[in-house]
Chain A
């Protein structure tokens, strides 16, 4: 079974809708991250969380919110989706005590906002 899972894998929604992307991990890592990937731009950090009580904005947090429900779960919400939020979204985890904080990525969620 995959260590980092994301649901859904694909989602089509309409402008103005609120949607949630979910991430779960079985690696036991404290740190979790949400990125978006756009062609030609690489991955950009949206939010990150060091533990359940610690959530921080990344470089492109506007229009997004997150919830860290438990150590293993980190959800990303689009409050009112807009077309330029069409992208591939990745969740990642890391452990500060191991592997110089190598990040481990989920398979991604492909989001299309019409």
Chain B
């Protein structure tokens, strides 16, 4: 069975500081990995995804994530936080190939303060 663990339900950073949101997964087959972002009162928007190939994935708004198979991790980073990055972030996993049943983590709420 697949599962996703996001470490830290709330993360607070200063504007301009590094953003690091942690995600670990368990999967019995090679996974597809996703990060979604949810801005206040909005639906989820795809930030980036890993399927195959290069393990460092770049997404929108300056975010990137690195798939580390040995650590079963897919942490999300951004070098310099902006106030507009304040949102809730969800990591999700699905089995590669076949149909896409997404398993979501519990989410991490990112606060950015001046």
A67 to B11, CA, bound (A): 39
Collect the chain B residues with CB atoms within 8 Å of residue A41's CB.
106
Decide if B29 is an interface residue (CB 8 Å cutoff).
no
Contact of B101 among A48, A100, A104 (CB under 8 A): A48
Q: How many B residues have CB within 8 A of the partner chain?
A: 23
Assess whether B105 is in contact with A42, with CB atoms less than 8 Å apart: yes
A31-B100, A48-B101, A108-B43 given; A100·B32 CB < 8 A:
yes
At the interface, yes or no: A43 with Cβ under 8 Å from chain B? yes
Partner of B106, one of A4, A42, A102: A42
Interface string of A37-55 (1 = CB under 8 A from B): 0001111110010100000
What's the nearest-Cβ distance from chain B to residue A98, in Å?
A: 11
A-B contact count (CB 8 A): 53
Shortest beta-carbon distance from B7 to chain A in Å: 14
Q: A41-B106, A43-B90 are in contact. Are A94 and B100 (CB under 8 A)?
A: yes
CB closest residue in chain A, given B51: A100
Judge whether B104 and A107 touch: CB under 8 Å.
Answer: no
* Set B9, B36, B43, B107: member contacting A106, Cβ < 8 A: B43
Are A42 and B90 neighbours in the complex by a CB distance under 8 Å?
Answer: yes
List chain B positions with a Cβ less than 8 A from chain A: 4, 9, 32, 34, 36, 41-46, 49, 51, 90, 94, 99-102, 104-107
A residues sitting closer than 8 Å to B (CB atoms) are 4, 31, 40-45, 48, 50, 90, 92, 94, 96, 100-108
Task: List 29 contacting pairs A-B, 8 Å CB cutoff, sorted by A.
Answer: A31-B99, A40-B9, A42-B4, A42-B90, A42-B104, A42-B105, A42-B106, A42-B107, A43-B102, A45-B101, A48-B101, A50-B99, A90-B44, A92-B44, A94-B100, A96-B100, A100-B51, A101-B32, A101-B99, A102-B34, A102-B49, A103-B100, A103-B102, A104-B46, A105-B45, A106-B43, A107-B43, A108-B42, A108-B43
